[in-house]
């Protein structure tokens, strides 16, 4: 579904990605793990044309995304939940969801898609007329994910969904991510909490300083203490 080949992306003169190659197959939940500053978020931003691409290629459903603006990429079936959530604080929950449907060209499916969102996140239905800025951090993350689902994406990009959340909320969010995958949505998850991500994904790539340094099934990576210690700062010690 998504194929990235020899991708080099930069911020000015600084090369953030130095020849990344990876792929996400239809129906998979693939995670990209690594330390802060490794290039995880840059990869997602490159996919949706928010970072300068120096060379390489990104293909989605067999078509190159290079040179296409972000709004056209989203219309092709890719949605992102950005780092820091970035919901519209001055709009209600319903209005935030309406924007998600509009961005994906799914205004006519609003009722159907919002029903799916409310089934995943009952609290959002309870607060549907509440302003986004009055929600708790966990509820705002749920709204950010729900807004992306309203675009009915073929591929969902999740950027650090656990950031800033209490452990009990993190557990809930990751269970819902797994449920979204089971509903048929392909997911590329970027996450610093490697252990949580590896517990729910099918395959994982490990990134360090803009380079892929490992790729395997989640099970094999979780069982490789040397790899975890070397590239993930000993996160295998977490529970």
Rounded CA-CA distance 16/21 in Å is 14
For residue 185, what pLDDT is reported?
Answer: 96
In a domain, 2, yes or no: no
> The domain that contains 114 carries what CATH number?
3.40.50.300
pLDDT digits (tens, 9 = 90+) for 77-121: 999 998 888 899 999 999 999 999 987 777 888 889 999 999 999
Which of helix, strand or coil describes residue 233?
coil
- Full domain range(s) for residue 90: 24-50+69-237
In a domain, 11, yes or no: no
Residue % of the chain over a pLDDT of 70: 96
pLDDT band at 154; cut points 50, 70, 90: very high
For residue 226, what pLDDT is reported?
Answer: 75
pLDDT digits (tens, 9 = 90+) for 193-227: 888 899 999 999 999 999 999 899 988 988 887 77
For residue 34, what pLDDT is reported?
Answer: 86
For residue 234, what pLDDT is reported?
Answer: 53
167's tokens: 């452990």
Give the number of other Cβ atoms within 10 Å of residue 37's Cβ.
12
CB–CB of 90/133 below 8 Å?
yes
- Residue 81 belongs to what H/E stretch? strand 78-81
In a domain, 169, yes or no: yes
- Closest Cα to residue 26, out of 202, 217, 146, 212? 202
In a domain, 214, yes or no: yes
Residue 122 has pLDDT above 50, yes or no: yes
For residue 188, what pLDDT is reported?
Answer: 98
In a domain, 7, yes or no: no
In a domain, 181, yes or no: yes
For residue 84, what pLDDT is reported?
Answer: 81
CB–CB of 35/192 below 8 Å?
yes
* Least-confidence region, from 46-50, 104-108, 133-137, 187-191: 104-108
pLDDT digits (tens, 9 = 90+) for 34-69: 888 889 999 999 999 999 999 999 999 999 999 999
> How many residues are present in the chain?
239
In a domain, 57, yes or no: no
Residue 131 has pLDDT above 50, yes or no: yes
In a domain, 182, yes or no: yes
CB–CB of 206/30 below 8 Å?
no
Count of domains observed in the chain: 1
Average pLDDT over residues 143-172: 92
Residue 238 has pLDDT above 50, yes or no: no
For residue 207, what pLDDT is reported?
Answer: 92
Residue 236 has pLDDT above 90, yes or no: no
Q: What is the mean pLDDT of the chain?
A: 90
């Amino acid at each position: 579904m998504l194929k990235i080949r020899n991708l080099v992306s930069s911020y000015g003169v600084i090369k953030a990605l130095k020849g990344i190659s990876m792929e996400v197959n239809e129906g998979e939940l693939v995670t990209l793990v690594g330390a802060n500053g490794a290039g995880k978020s840059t990869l997602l931003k490159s996919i949706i044309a928010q970072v300068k691409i120096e060379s390489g290629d990104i293909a989605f459903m067999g078509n190159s995304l290079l040179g296409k603006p972000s709004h056209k990429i989203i219309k092709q079936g890719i949605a992102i939940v950005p780092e820091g959530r970035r919901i519209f604080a001055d709009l209600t929950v319903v209005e935030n969801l309406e924007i998600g449907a509009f961005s994906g060209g799914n205004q006519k499916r609003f009722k159907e898609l919002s029903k799916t969102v409310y089934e995943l996140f009952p609290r959002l239905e309870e607060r549907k007329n509440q302003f986004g800025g009055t929600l708790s951090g966990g509820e705002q993350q749920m709204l950010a994910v729900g807004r992306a689902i309203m675009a009915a994406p073929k591929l969902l990009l999740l950027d650090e969904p656990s950031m800033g959340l209490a452990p009990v909320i993190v557990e809930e969010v990751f269970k819902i991510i797994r449920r979204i995958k089971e509903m048929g949505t392909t997911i590329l998850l970027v996450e610093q909490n490697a252990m949580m991500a590896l517990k729910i994904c099918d395959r994982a790539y490990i990134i360090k300083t803009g380079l892929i340094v490992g790729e395997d099934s989640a099970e094999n990576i979780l069982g490789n203490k040397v790899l975890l210690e070397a590239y993930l700062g000993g996160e295998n010690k977490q529970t």
